[in-house]
Amino acid sequence: MDGVLLQSNHIKHDAMLALFDVDAQKKVAIAQYNQAHGGVPRKQKFAHIWTCILSRPYDAQVERQLAGAYERALEEALSAAPLVEGVDAFIAGSDLPCFVCTAAPEDEASRVLAGRGLLAHFKVVYGGSTTKAQALAQVASGVGRAPERVLFFGDSKADLEAARSAAVRFVGVTREKVDFLVGSVPTIFNFEDRKLLDLALHAAATGSFPAK
């Protein structure tokens, strides 16, 4: 969802850093870890930061406190995050079933999408309780398509790994960051680039991605 539907990666990054009142060296380590692990569920990040960077004991109470503070910080900020250019028109004009696979909790993602008038365009919102690879496999099974005829738009290495694990097609969205080796995957900057969008849709329909 972040970086593909919404320009919200920087919002979540700032909210994550604000959770930890630590010295500058640890703050840099947290920032580097968070930036390198886009698309990873937040609770997994909390556990790593708390135990591996801060060297503190981590338990369910700490997790609840961090999750609650993070959700409160995001609630208003995400409602104002701009959409990735052209994505609303692309989704509204699609005659193919659309789904969301996000590391965020399902209820949070659904509220954000509803607030932007997008929720009705998606058949299912898969959140952090389901891995992205599992969600993609369920999408393929649910719509009765071979995995190679499912197309996943993502903006992180974790998204690409999930697509490869589920054997679905992948297009990287680089509006907020470039997380892929140049030429390693087909990419679009946003959803206003009709040429690359047409190539991506061709991949979903035929199971092949033609050369540029």
Tell me if 184 is assigned to some domain: yes
pLDDT score, position 180: 79
Tell me if 121 is assigned to some domain: yes
* 200 shares a domain with 97: yes
Q: Which of 166, 168, 167, 170 is nearest to 156 (CA)?
A: 170
User: Which residues are paired to 153 by β-bridges?
Assistant: 171
Tens of pLDDT, residue by residue over 22-59, are 999 999 999 999 999 988 899 999 999 999 999 999 99
Tens of pLDDT, residue by residue over 71-109, are 999 888 888 899 999 999 999 998 889 999 999 999 999
- The greatest distance separating any two alpha carbons of the chain, rounded to the nearest whole angstrom, comes to 52
Domain boundary among 79, 111, 141: 79
Could you give the C-alpha distances from 133 to 89, 110, 139, in angstroms and in order? 27, 20, 10
- The tally of domains found in the chain comes to 2
| CATH number (domain holding residue 92) | 3.40.50.1000
**176, 188 Cβ separation under 8 angstroms:** no
Domain boundary among 33, 56, 79: 79
* 101 shares a domain with 74: no
Tell me if 4 is assigned to some domain: no
Question: What is the DSSP secondary structure assignment for residue 2, as one 8-state letter?
Answer: B
pLDDT score, position 207: 56
Tens of pLDDT, residue by residue over 170-203, are 999 999 988 877 667 888 899 997 887 887 667 6
Would you place residue 6 in the very low, low, confident or very high pLDDT band (cuts 50, 70, 90)?
very high
Q: How far apart are the first and last CA of the chain?
A: 26
Would you place residue 212 in the very low, low, confident or very high pLDDT band (cuts 50, 70, 90)?
very low
* 68 shares a domain with 104: no
Q: Is the pLDDT of residue 210 over 80?
A: no
pLDDT score, position 211: 38
Domain boundary among 26, 60, 79: 79
Domain range holding 155?
A: 87-206
User: Which residues are paired to 99 by β-bridges?
Assistant: 124
* 63 shares a domain with 22: yes
CA dihedral 37, 40, 43, 47 (to 10 degrees): -40
Tens of pLDDT, residue by residue over 150-164, are 999 999 999 999 999
